[in-house]
Amino acid sequence: MQEVEIIKEKEIKPVDSKGIENLLINGNLESLNEKQRIEYYSKVCDSLGLNPLTKPFDYIKLSGKLTLYANKNATEQLRKIYKVSILDMNTDQVGDVLVTKCKVQDGMGRTDVSTGAVTVGNLRGDALANAIMKSETKAKRRATLSICGLGMLDESELETIKDAYVVPEKDAISDKQITQKRRDDGNEFKKVLKDNGIKNGKAFQEFANIKSMNDVKAYLDDMSALLEKIDEFKKGDK
């Protein structure tokens, strides 16, 4: 079981070029504020054709940096989107390590090869069988990420990386950032209502009823659904 490191930020970091620069150079998401992280997450998904609502990436703290890693949802979607197929896969044992080599091909005909490795020691029976499957899974996922041009970690690699901490999404965003985001969204929603000539209180009450941002994806989904009801709110004013 992965140890979880709770990430707290002392204050809301302003949107500035230094945070973006640090991300581009060092790959550290911790330099971004909550709004920037959501935008970055969405843009990574959009650039790959992934659905952000399926949560294809999770947060990890590694070597003092907060970054994204690909989970099972990411690699499964990528295989479908880019028509990645397995051409060849074989597993050999080198000492007490199982090494699986996987060759894949995408819809454009390009090929790539990656490996997955698992220490087996003196494992036997079901334990050995599970190790073999894990080695194959690592190889397939790493090959998928590689051929799709993603140089990030896959979740199957995390258990073998020292000092890597999986960070729950709600802990990657501070309480102050959540409060500020709600306030900013509230002001923006008021502006949308004003621009559309909506004066009834039902619309803003529905915004107030939206659940906490601890589940960021659910919050964004609820906000999107609320904005789609603008015409309904207009009719309520008549």
Structural domain boundaries in the chain:
1-81+151-172, 83-147, 175-236
Which residues does 81 contact at the CB level (< 8 Å), separation at least 6?
Answer: 48, 49, 50
3-class secondary-structure state, position 177: helix
Each residue's pLDDT, cut to its tens digit, for the chain (238 residues) gives 444 443 343 333 444 455 565 666 667 887 787 778 888 888 889 999 998 888 899 888 887 788 899 999 999 999 999 999 999 999 999 999 999 999 999 999 999 999 999 999 888 999 999 999 999 999 999 999 999 999 888 888 877 766 655 665 555 555 555 566 667 777 777 888 888 777 767 777 777 777 555 555 566 667 777 777 777 777 765 5
Q: What is the edge-to-edge ordering of all strands in the sheet holding 85-94?
A: 85-94, 97-105, 111-119
Residue 147 has what pLDDT?
A: 96
Beta strands in 95-221 (DSSP E): 97-105, 111-119, 164-167
Residue 226 has what pLDDT?
A: 78
Token pair for 162: 């020292």
Task: Name the strand (E) or helix (H) holding 61.
Answer: strand 57-62
3-class secondary-structure state, position 164: strand
Is pTM beyond 0.85 here? Answer: no
Say which CATH topology domain 83-147 has. Answer: Double Stranded RNA Binding Domain (3.30.160)
Among residues 8, 35, 54, the alpha carbon closest in space to that of 167 is found at 8
